[in-house]
Amino acid sequence: MYVALFTRCPNNIELLQQAVDLRQEKAKMLGFKSHASYTLDDLSMNNPDMVLDMLNTLRTQLTPMARRELAQLRAIKQADCESKGLEFTDFYDWDLAYYKRTKTECTHNIDSTLIKSYFHVPDVVCRLFALFEEIMQLRFCKVDASVWHPLVELYEVWDTNEFVGHCYLDLYSRPRKYANGATFHIRSGFTRKTGAREYPVVALVTNFVQPTNGEPALLSHANLKTLVHEMGHVLHNLCSVTKWSMFHGTRVCRDFVECPSQMLENIIWTPSVLQKLGVHYQTKQPIPLCIVDAIIAAKPQVAGVFYLQKLFYAVYDISIYHSPGSHVDASLVYNTLEKNVALCNTGGIETIGAATTRQVVRGYDSKCFVYLWGQALAADMFSTRFGRDGVFNQQTWMEYRNVILRPGGSTDIMNCVHQFLGRKPQYNAFFTQIGLD
């Protein structure tokens, strides 16, 4: 399966190469050193050297951590093979997911089925909305309306007595539906010439398993993370107040668009919040602290490998679009960096992962670093402000809402971050968050 996955679509290699070459050519015609220089020009990280410095800093810290984790997983696989009378050869890239899960379950005694029983979709949504009302003064009120599917729900959102906007929830999977989690602008907010406000309408889309035949819709902790992440985009769109629709909500520079959602993700790694959200769907008892502790303790498992893979895609992306020459072999760069940066062992099998790395041609060209940059900013903001003031501190959340979310893309977002933090961003909180002292 691994070989089939990473050797599919071979014809895409030629198309990718053409896209890279043409983009480099266009950038130089416009007076830029490279395509990366051109696409980063209006971002907060606005030149390739800044990006490379950041990636090198992260790589220096993450690589030793990832090597230790891979050595642990290799030992687990070896012991597993010996216990089953199987020959052990090596630890390969396709072993990662299975033995990562094995390590987590053995180390922390995680029962994923039991965890799901505490996160019933309707209950979680209700409790999330109650939390947002408590910390951000946002009240979600379900309304009867004509919607595109019986399982879709529409909510009016209010700030005390002031209307904020509308939010659709389309949470359950069905045939021919968009297959990923996403938040869509249906209408952006803006101010009319008359001074009247046009209010935002946003749709949160996920693909959780539908409740069927008496079986409830339950979330894994990973599902909960997806829901909260997308809620972060919803809040960004609802809380933004801008004159022009083109700057509304998540219409910020690309290297910040994920940051508010990544910031909000931190709440589901906070024991007190998990205890608010987790209630058994049958007994209605709150999630036990021992389960909460197990969930949180499992978070750093193989974090070095996980983030090193993210870093690999970012390094690959900036490498093919910031080459000093006029031509770069995109597939060769991918395969070289996969081994040297991501530490992948494909067992000598020649893969063509570059053929299906869609981020580098679909809007994130030269910008694949934004996930890591956003994660670092999010960790810094959450740790610095909510770590100090408390996760339920309404004053701090309202400051976050007004300083970070409200402006959308209408101002220099890094000035907003500096204002909220009281200083320039740092990486320390991110490293601590992933278990790197």
CA distance 276 to 290: 15
- Tokens matching residue 71: 């050595």
CA distance 213 to 235: 34
CA distance 82 to 168: 52
Amino acid identity at 113: T
Residue located via tokens 């992933």: 434
CA distance 202 to 392: 25
CA distance 17 to 12: 8
CA distance 40 to 33: 12
Question: Which phi and psi angles does 118 have, rounded to 5°?
Answer: -95, 0
Cα dist from 267 to 148, 264, 294, 305, whole Å: 31, 6, 16, 23
Residue located via tokens 């903001």: 381
CA distance 335 to 223: 32
Question: Which phi and psi angles does 403 have, rounded to 5°?
Answer: -85, -40
Is 69 an annotated catalytic residue? no
Q: Which of 69, 153, 230, 258 is catalytic?
A: 230
Q: What amino acid positions are annotated as catalytic residues?
A: 230
